Amino acid sequence: MPHANAQPDLAGKVAVVTGGASGIGRAIAVLLAECGCRVFVGDFDPLEENRSPSEQLGIVDQRCDVRNEADVRSLIERAVAEGGGLDIVVNNAGIGMVKPIVDVTEEEWSACLDTNLKGAFLAAKHAIPALIARGGGSIVNIASNAGILPRAHDPVYSTSKGALIALTKCLALCHGPDRIRVNAVCPGPVGDTRMMNADLDQAPDREAAVKQFIKASPLARAQGRMISPAEVAQSVLYLVGDAAQMVTGTLIAIDGGKSLGVPPVVAEDA
């Protein structure tokens, strides 16, 4: 009987992970590679510090802007050519947009929607024929708790993630007959990522901002910490593995209960 902590064996599988240079995407790429998967990372801002660990794990890092169809097609074609096929796509590349709607420029709207939504469309468009050629596969979209329960302070980001969840369900319905499973993971608040650090760097009081993020999530608050990229990566590992063979169109919220509703008032707030 396998050990309770045994990881799924992904030997022989080939995965594409977008936005895999840092944060959640990096944790996903490393975990999939550690489980034997051949991983191709596409990121428009690769980090030099990844070079040596990537080489050791056989991770291929390619510069790719997910807003650009030629870049996405080239990433998928490389994975198919060098990996011998494609089994897994993780659409993780994303950017935040914290602004009231009246201050959002047309360029900012496009940047957010094109990265968080169009990127996943382009990857699905070019990956699905390759997944069908393998007899099926798995797509995981990294959405957000903001896509489940929209927020007042980042309406464009919330919209992009809500639409990504809709795309997830549509593709799951359309491609079930092809044995392609499409699911979404909805994290938040996750520490130790470039997006989170950029948010915190803008805050007038960093420590207070960290406390505010933690306070908004019941389990993060109870445990006195943010969620880790590795915890999000574990949910992706489950979704791409054989244990999830009958799972499609679902959302896994790794948000400590943040998207469930209004949390209870605790004594220190009363």
The residue (of 34 and 199) whose beta carbon lies closer to ligand NAD is 199
238 is catalytic: no
72 within 8 A of 42, measured Cβ to Cβ: yes
Closest approach of ligand NAD to the CB of residue 72, in Å: 9
User: Would you say the C-alpha torsion 216, 225, 115, 85 has a positive or negative sign?
Assistant: negative
145 within 8 A of 172, measured Cβ to Cβ: no
Taking the C-alpha atoms of residue 72 and residue 33, their distance in angstroms, rounded to an integer, is 21
- Find the catalytic residue in 138, 157, 237, 259: 157
The residue (of 24 and 89) whose beta carbon lies closer to ligand NAD is 24
Residue pointed to by tokens 């494609």: 86
The residue (of 34 and 231) whose beta carbon lies closer to ligand NAD is 231
Exposure string of 28-41, with b = 16+ CB inside 10 Å and e = fewer, is: bbbbbbebebbbbb
Closest approach of ligand NAD to the CB of residue 176, in Å: 25
Exposure string of 168-201, with b = 16+ CB inside 10 Å and e = fewer, is: bbebbeebeeeebbbbbbbbbbbbbbbbbeebee
Length of the chain: 270
- Residue type for position 46: P
How many Cβ atoms are within 10 Å of 110's Cβ, its own excluded?
Answer: 13
- Under the rule (CB under 6 A), what is the footprint of ligand NAD? 18-19, 21-25, 43-45, 64-67, 92-95, 115, 142, 144, 187-190, 193-196
Closest CA to 251 of 243, 263, 239: 239
**Residue 61 phi, psi (nearest 5):** -100, 125
Closest approach of ligand NAD to the CB of residue 173, in Å: 23
**Residue 246 phi, psi (nearest 5):** -110, 20
The residue (of 144 and 248) whose beta carbon lies closer to ligand NAD is 144
Closest approach of ligand NAD to the CB of residue 164, in Å: 8
The residue (of 176 and 218) whose beta carbon lies closer to ligand NAD is 218
Closest approach of ligand NAD to the CB of residue 202, in Å: 14
The residue (of 112 and 244) whose beta carbon lies closer to ligand NAD is 112
Closest approach of ligand NAD to the CB of residue 147, in Å: 8
Q: Which residues are catalytic?
A: 157
